[in-house]
Chain A
Amino acid sequence: MARAPADENTNPSHAFGRMLWRHRGEPGMLIPLLQAAQDSYGYIPQLAVEQISEVTGIPASEVYGVITFYKQFRVKPVGRHLIRLCKGTACHVQGANMIAQTVADELRVPPDETTDDGVFTFIVVACLGCCSLAPVLMVDDQTYGRMTPQKVRRILRQYRQRAATSPKTTPPKAASAAVPANP
């Protein structure tokens, strides 16, 4: 388990910190708290689990139980760009497997992994709901429809080039608030 960024206790401005402070034991707040933690860090760091457990009184083991039940939650940091490949029915019939293969080949990582340089995290999701544009790929918040292997390569190379030329504001493996979360 990677350590969370150092500012996570000291920076009260982010949503997760505010929610923790305001928590007054209302029932049913565990999932919203976890969502806020992931929004703030891009994943759910160990420390956040401990803090949530402390304010809600729910044992950390149970918090982990909830985290691992839901697909949305991640306990590992993500790269600078999150690639979500849709594997819904419409995308599947229109050849999503081939697109998945191309992404994995191009990035040299299987789904659910982050590239060594920390630029990309590649995940496969159930359905993005843009079925008429199938097959669909999402990079961060941008959706790309009617994908072909060639188009995928071109898009990924553009992101990689941009990532290489733009200065890195954070160490690649550490998640930051700049990482778009909320898949």
Chain B
Amino acid sequence: MQEVVVGLGSCGIAAGGQRVHQRFAELLQPDRNDSILKQTGCIGLCYREVLVEVRDQQGRRSLYGEVSPERVDRIVAEHLRQGKVIDEWIVDTGEVFARQQRIVLRNCGVIDPASLDEYRARDGYRALEKVLTQMTPAQVIDLISESGLRGRGGAGFPTGTKWRLAQATKDPHRYVICNGDEGDPGAFMDRSVLEGDPHSVLEGMTIAAYAIGASAGYVYVRAEYPEAVRRLRHAIAQASEHGCLGTNILGKGFHFEVALKEGAGAFVCGEETALIASVEGKRGMPRVRPPFPVESGLWGHPTCINNVETLANVPWIILNGAGAFNACGTAGSKGTKVFALAGKVKRGGLVEVPMGTSINEVINEIGGGTISGRTFKAVQMGGPSGGCIPASLGETPVDYEQLTATGAIMGSGGMVVMDESTCMVDVARFFLSFTQNESCGKCTFCRIGTKRMLEILERISEGKGKEEDLKLLAELGEQIKASSLCGLGQTAPNPVLTTLRYFLPEYQAHIIEKKCPAKVCLPLVEFWIDPEKCNGCGLCIQACEVGAVSGEKKLPHRVDVAVCVKCARCMTVCRQDAIEKR
């Protein structure tokens, strides 16, 4: 019996995976006795979506990339019916997977996320069984502490310590919350895990509940992830039906109920206390800590909040032991970390590497370097709370402390690669406009300080910056960090502060020379039509609202820079790619 597995994570669906799946279903109708059609979550090689894996009778696995409904016909005719592999469409995974170690992603892209049987076939719920039959809650906490697992949401708090604090409280009514509010733009690790292996997260949660003595829990997922919500809901129902969740779990007398809460679109809700307010149905405003949620959280009861990736690690640690987990990593950071590699990188996707792997290795060896082939300029880590690490620090290993030393943070795992066509002032402005927009408004420095910083950055990118602005930016940044209550404000200035630290000449070029070296900030560039490429079609003349473009039909056009308002409309209509920014 051979199997055809279509990758239907959100990326796969976005690239047209459903149509591919449907085409296979149509064509394989007569072959249903010897070919099974299956689906799986994110395989991780997002740059080659839609991905289809064929597992044939001989046990060979062939991964096809960029599969379209049209290509399906040939795969069915040649590979499935005649056993001939179509080499030119095969994805070479050697380089991509060589340096990866898959603990969190152990089942992602392998199993059908909707199938409890497939999860069980890969040791699913065995860790839970082991915990319930052979271990006391204290032993579980000791094991997790010994493994060195730290929170994967970004801050890196030791998971075992958090559990111990929750377990030590006097209030017997305790909660476990899984934080799946992955709000960082440019990060999609948690979504992929929730979509590709939802049971591992539920199993991790149940083990956490047993360890701290909770009987109820919530999974808080971003509402922007409809597919993750759907699959998780299905997994919760399935696990409850088969005795892996709910009352008397696996017949061992332990009870734990899980409910799903959909977020409603607020970045600040990734912060623990804001998340709790949101689950309670209120505006997601953070509050002063202490008391910490482990002492007084949801409805005033002890609440242990763990990130999706943290929880997905737990069953693996229970089964393989603390030693197997902390064998890889650095002194302070153990295990692996999942990254969402995106931006100007050749092989974007989901990667999981042992802690201690260098940034260069991730970008150049796994990611294949930049699209342009030149060295990368910077990598943005940690989203709006993180910073831009320049290529000169590319040897920095993936490690909580060493990344913090660069001014960035480990963060939840977004890694956006930038090359010389990315303007660092523009990147800083982009992140600040995001955090400014997402600031809940509680703390004055975060509310007004970020606004002022954004105004300064806008001024600089319009060529109206002053030299004193740089000092003011740094000063405001430090004050916002010092005077904000929650992580959002405390980290919001990081993208600006790191770019100021590593890319100061670029700021100076904007302010003093009134030039944007990367040609991104429109007010600082001039538009120019390449006479070699222009075919004189006149589309840009029609598009220009101020009459800055002129020229005879079928003869090269030109832009009058004195009239041009730099709206870039001409560029959006040109079919010859003839308009350039200079």
Judge whether B323 is part of the interface by a CB distance below 8 angstroms: no
Q: How far is the CA of A105 from the CA of B46 in the complex (A)?
A: 31
| Known contacts A66-B281, A69-B266, A105-B569, A126 near B343 by CB under 8 Å | no
Q: Which residue of B lies closest to A92 (CB)?
A: B430
Q: List B contacts of A101 (CB < 8 A).
A: 567-569, 572
B11 touches A34 (CB 8 A): no
Q: How far is the CB of A28 from chain B (nearest CB, A)?
A: 4
Query: What is the interface size of chain A, counting residues whose CB is below 8 A from a CB of the partner?
Result: 44
Which of A112-120, A128-136, A169-177 lies at the interface with chain B?
A128-136
Residues of chain B within 8 A (CB-CB) of A130 are 10-11, 14, 46, 188
For A29, what are the chain B residues with a Cβ–Cβ distance below 8 Å? Answer: 281
Interface size of B as a range: 35 or more
Say if the beta carbon of B243 comes within 8 Å of chain A: no
Is A98 engaged at the interface, CB distance under 8 Å to the other chain? yes
Asked if A27 contacts B224 (CB within 8 A), the reply is no
Q: Does A149 contact B (CB under 8 A)?
A: yes
Q: B560 → chain A, closest Cβ, in Å?
A: 21
Instruction: Decide yes or no whether A163 CB sits under 8 A from chain B.
Output: no
Q: Distance in Å from the Cβ of A36 to the closest Cβ of chain B?
A: 11
Answer whether A90 and B343 are a contact pair too, CB < 8 Å, given A66-B283, A132-B49: yes
Identify the interface centre among B223, B348, B568, B571: most chain A CB within 10 Å of its CB.
B223
Q: Check A31 for interface membership: any CB of B closer than 8 A.
A: yes
Q: Does A131 contact B348, Cβ atoms closer than 8 Å?
A: yes
Check A143 against B13 for contact (C-beta < 8 Å).
yes
| Across-interface contacts of B280 in A (CB, < 8 A) | 27-28
B257 to chain A, nearest CB (A): 13
Please state if A182 and B185 are interface contacts (CB–CB under 8 Å). Answer: no
A182 touching B223, Cβ below 8 Å? yes
**Stretch binding the partner chain, chosen from B85-93, B414-422, B498-506:** B414-422
Q: What are 27 contact pairs spanning A and B, CB under 8 A?
A: A27-B281, A28-B261, A28-B279, A30-B281, A31-B281, A34-B264, A35-B262, A69-B283, A89-B186, A90-B185, A93-B416, A94-B343, A94-B344, A98-B568, A101-B568, A126-B183, A127-B184, A127-B185, A129-B187, A130-B10, A131-B187, A131-B343, A132-B349, A133-B11, A149-B571, A150-B575, A182-B226
Known: A27-B299, A28-B261, A129-B191. 7 other contacts (CB 8 A): A90-B416, A93-B343, A128-B224, A130-B10, A130-B14, A131-B340, A182-B226
Which of A's residues lie within 8 Å of B, judged by CB?
27-32, 34-35, 65-66, 69-73, 87-90, 92-94, 98, 101-102, 105, 125-134, 136, 143-145, 149-150, 182-183
Residues of chain B touching chain A, judged by Cβ–Cβ distance below 8 Å, are: 10-11, 13-15, 46-47, 49, 182-188, 191, 223-226, 261-267, 278-284, 299, 340, 342-344, 348-349, 380, 383, 414, 416, 418, 422, 427, 430-431, 434, 440, 567-569, 571-573, 575
